[in-house]
Chains A and B, each alone.
Chain A
Amino acid sequence: MSPKTESYTAALTGIVGKDAVEEKPQVTVAGKSPSLRVRPKSVEEVGKVLAFANENGLGVIPTGSGTKLETGNPPEKFDLLLDLTGLDQIVEYDAENLTIAAQAGVRVKDLVELVTKDELFFPVDPAFPGEATIGGVVATSDNGPKRFQHGNLRDVVLGVKVVLPNGELVKFGGRTIKNVSGYDVTKMMIGSMGILGVIVEATFRLLPEPQREDILVHAFPKLSEVTKLAGQVLDSVLVPSSLELLSPAARKLIKGVASDFAVGEYLLVVGLEGHPDAVVRQEQDLTSMCANLAPNRTALVVGGDYVAEGKEASEREVTCQIHDHGEACNCETVTDQATVDSLWEEIYNLERTAKEAGYAVAAKVAVPLAQVWEMAAAAEKSAAANGVQIAYKISAGNGLLNLYMQGDNEKVLAVLEDLRTLAQKREGSLVLKSTPLFNGSFEVWGEPQGTHISLIRATKAKYDPNGVLNVGRYVGRI
């Protein structure tokens, strides 16, 4: 250990205490490891640690549970891993006014459990909810299938508190839905990947828990059928909360209720929330639409806990009126909230399941809604031509394609290049989410499209003039 590192250790121990400093932690980010992991227990400590790093020109990467640590270019400098899991307090929970303010290290799952007790709903459903922290979710703007109905982080975060690289604590936004007092820096912090400051607290909008939540699962033999269906649904009065498609390979990674479907088929997973009558009505409409496009298929309705007013829990019935449609469609129902939750869980954790199954590379394609199908078809074609195996999930209501790939590095790169070129032609982008194989040889974010890189650079220079936070990891290697 160099004398310099020793003096850093001593100084940081002085700030956060001996237990909160770990030398040579077993963490790598794109092949680089930090000298120290520091785990402050308060916002004040975060401020002092950052001020110290700022004065000494140390490279800092903030993290929560580390579920997205792989996203980004290799760091230019990486001395400290700033572990924020010690900031685990709910700061202000106002159930009546439907807001909650929590510290960065609070896990999504814990927050969901807390508000569910009051029959409220946290409108954010990111990947790995069991581990993901709210600070990480906000910094990476990571959201899941239900984003279709409830919006992205930028639509539900009302304000943030941020420790700037100079150690100062500042706040942006507030706790009301409407707030135009000053520049909306909150928006800029969401998805900023920690390049401007360390998000230590965020205030979210909550919603009343939906009266009923069901999932409708339907299998399709061809991608073209689902493409048609999604177009019809999006151009209808129906309001599903999510519209997800699993490719045949991705469907194989899913266990539980959805795994009974025929191998080799595309699986459409539709989330439905709201008034029970509206949920059932949508199940009927969707099933007819599916049956028209792909007859003689089996649909599965997974119904959540719902007790009709004036009935006992034992009388709970998830009405599968879909049977009324007769021969066109066979329909099965499963009726408990645990099954609904576990199906979502499988989908939220798909990236990890895919990785464990050998799909080492994950990428996200974002394009205008209707173009996502062309992207999926192109991915299949390019993967086949290059001998690369892919599994993918489409969020049809959001125009997102999450892609998991395995194969020779060069071949995988060729597929990625193909898809990025096409996505950019369609006014979209391709971002590499996990990059263990390339170590900087592929531009993670792509050349910025539709973004003025000099503005991002100028903004970074204002907030982090000494280059402390996540240096080199962002768009344009900022």
Chain B
Amino acid sequence: MIDQSVIQELKGIVGEDNVLHNKADLQTYEYDAYLEKSLPDAVVFVNSAQEVSDVVKVANRAQVPFVARGRATNLSGGVLAMRQGIVIELARMDRIIDIDIENQRMIVEPAIYNLEVTGAIDNLGYYYAPDPASGKACSIGGNVGEDAGGPHCFKYGVTSNHVLGMEVVLPDGEITWLGGKALDTPGLDLTGVFVGSEGTLGIATKLVLRILHKPEAVKTMLAVYDSIDDASSSVSAIVSHKMVPATLEMMDNLVIQAIEQSMAAGFPLDAAAVLLIELDGLKDGMEEMADKIVEICKENNVREIKVATCEAERAALWKGRKGAFGAIARLSPNYLVADGTVPRTKLPETLRMCREIGDKYGLRVANVFHAGDGNLHPLILFDSRNPEDKEKVLKAGMEMLQVCADMGGTVSGEHGVGIEKAMAMYMVYNEKDLLAQEWVKEAWDPQDLANPGKILPQRLIKREEAHVS
């Protein structure tokens, strides 16, 4: 427990009403979208970089850890206060600071929802490319913390390719700028290393985003298959025909069923897989490319292929994909999503092995994944009220990550390591590699106060040590 005097100091910074420290209030902040819980000592609602800085300085004086929290959609335990301390709640810092069309940049505060960024510039003909499926619920700050991906990464890259600078409160409370609107800044790419650091290197309070002109034309297609392998072969064939679609998203039968029960997106219930393909760019040549894709899919035994003919149809096809994770609730009260990534051609084999792992533990595995970039999301279904289930599901998840690592891939593609995959880091890095990563944390946060106990296995706080509510 932190000292009452610290609580008083926090109240002095943000006001009496903006500090929570009663257990009942704190319980809202003891979990995220992962399976664990950990109760913080205090929650502080901040409204400016200066307040963040002041709170962090109090934490430094009192040697109390702190964790930044935005919309808390994190899937790997990234915003859990594993060593208790102060949760710095950023939800009120959701303003747009600057829309700079001429320089194709936008500056926002961290808690703005991902979808609101594009929403603010849509009428100017621009958009922000990284589009995690949870875009309406997750914040840009969280996207930066996790280096979030999404369906459009195969062509446009991940969050780190679109964040060029930031105002940061460092772990000692100093406010500084990294990078900026210009593309090249002399010195180490500190922006690059901050993105994906899961709040362990400080707290970003303003973000400089690259925004892109909207493409002239978009063509969305839905291909229905009787086998996952045929769908996978189609993906490879499309790429080998020199096309770089904006998205290549696949959903398997279990996910299709969940989506249809939840929102009736029009996916055939008996299909083994559906593939959502989207082309974007200039309208010239797009029809021809779309025809070619249809032809390729037919060569690969597609059952049927629909091409969206208007924006409403396009939105309908996407609605199913974007709502996939949520729809899983129709099948099971809980799920764990493994976030491994493999070289694309290894997908069919990896999926097969993930299913086998599920069978071994008697767990159903649904799959929705980014087929273009090899990022799979086996959703392992279970009921958390059954403690045995939970143990099995965690084991199955780790085994699936091992499969991804063995296939030449990695253990987290876009959800972050957090506490969930810290031990899985050994699957892709050896002790020396991990020590060289540790140096980053040591250089930025020698006191180990910023979101401690995350990412690196050597820093993972054992459950028995952690205070579990």
Contacts and interface: CB of A to CB of B under 8 A. Distances in A.
A368 B105 contact: yes
B190 A452 contact: yes
A363 B409 CA distance: 40
B193 interface: yes
Interface stretch (B256-264, B358-366, B414-422): B414-422
Contacts of A446: 186
A276 interface: yes
Interface in B87-120: 100-105
A154 B189 contact: yes
A455 interface: yes
Interface string B424-438: 110011001111110
B345 A400 contact: no
B439 A459 contact: yes
B170 interface: yes
Nearest to A367: B182
Contacts of B55: none
Contacts of A117: none
Most buried by B among A176, A177, A180, A231: A180
B83 interface: no
Nearest to A173: B410
Contact of A178 (B189, B285, B413): B413
A180 B193 contact: no
B417 A451 contact: no
A451 B190 contact: yes
Interface string B359-401: 0000000000010011100000000000000000000000000
Contacts of B187: 445, 448, 451, 453, 456, 474-476
B285 A450 contact: no
A439 interface: no
A168 interface: yes
Contact of B193 (A119, A187, A450): A187
A208 B195 CA distance: 28
Given A188-B189, A191-B189, A475-B187, A368 B282 contact: no
Contacts of B240: 96, 208
B60 interface: no
Interface string A163-203: 01000111110111111111111011011100010000000
A33 interface: no
Point out which of B165, B186, B244, B442 has the most chain A C-beta atoms below 10 A from its C-beta. B186
Contacts of B455: 182-183
Contacts, number: 275
Interface stretch (B3-11, B44-52, B173-181, B306-314): B173-181
Given A181-B411, A371-B103, A462-B442, A152 B183 contact: yes
A208 B243 CA distance: 7
Contact of A278 (B186, B188, B284): B284
Contact of B188 (A119, A175, A459): A459
Contacts of A169: 432
A207 interface: yes
Contacts of B413: 176, 178-180
B342 A182 contact: no
Contact of A458 (B174, B414, B444, B456): B444
A221 interface: no
Contact of A179 (B165, B185, B341, B440): B341
A176 B425 contact: no
Contacts of A187: 160, 189, 191-193, 195
B412 to A, nearest CB: 5
Nearest to B344: A97
Interface in B136-165: 146-147, 149, 153-154, 157-158, 160-161, 165
Given A119-B242, A183-B193, A184-B193, A170 B432 contact: yes
A198 B442 CA distance: 21
B197 A183 contact: yes
Contacts of A38: none
Contact of B158 (A172, A178, A280, A427): A178
B244 to A, nearest CB: 6
B149 A450 contact: no
Given A238-B282, A277-B284, A181 B242 contact: no
B436 A170 contact: yes
A369 B281 CA distance: 22
B468 interface: no
B465 interface: no
A448 B344 CA distance: 41
Contacts of B216: 237
A174 B409 contact: yes
Given A368-B181, A369-B103, A475-B187, A274 B281 contact: yes
Contacts of A96: 236, 240, 344-345
Nearest to B216: A237
Interface string A443-478: 001101111110110110111000000000011100
B185 A154 contact: no
Nearest to A463: B439
Given A172-B433, A235-B101, A450-B178, A178 B149 contact: yes
A124 B178 CA distance: 25
Contact of B186 (A235, A238, A429): A429
Interface in B244-278: 244
Contacts of A237: 213-216, 282
A184 B285 contact: no
Given A98-B239, A179-B413, A427-B180, A368 B192 contact: no
A307 interface: no
Given A185-B440, A209-B242, A277-B284, A455 B190 contact: yes
A274 B215 CA distance: 14
B439 A462 contact: yes
A278 B193 contact: no
B185 A369 contact: no
- Central interface residue in A98, A152, A172, A183, by most chain B CB within 10 Å: A183
14 contacts: A96-B344, A162-B436, A178-B158, A180-B414, A181-B429, A183-B196, A190-B189, A191-B184, A275-B281, A277-B284, A367-B182, A368-B103, A429-B186, A451-B186
Given A236-B213, A450-B177, 13 more contacts: A96-B240, A96-B345, A168-B432, A168-B436, A174-B410, A177-B374, A239-B282, A275-B284, A280-B284, A281-B284, A429-B184, A455-B190, A458-B444
Interface of B: 100-105, 125, 146-147, 149, 153-154, 157-158, 160-161, 165, 170, 174, 176-193, 195-197, 213-216, 236, 239-244, 281-282, 284-286, 288-289, 341-345, 370, 373-375, 408-417, 421, 424-425, 428-429, 432-437, 439-444, 455-456
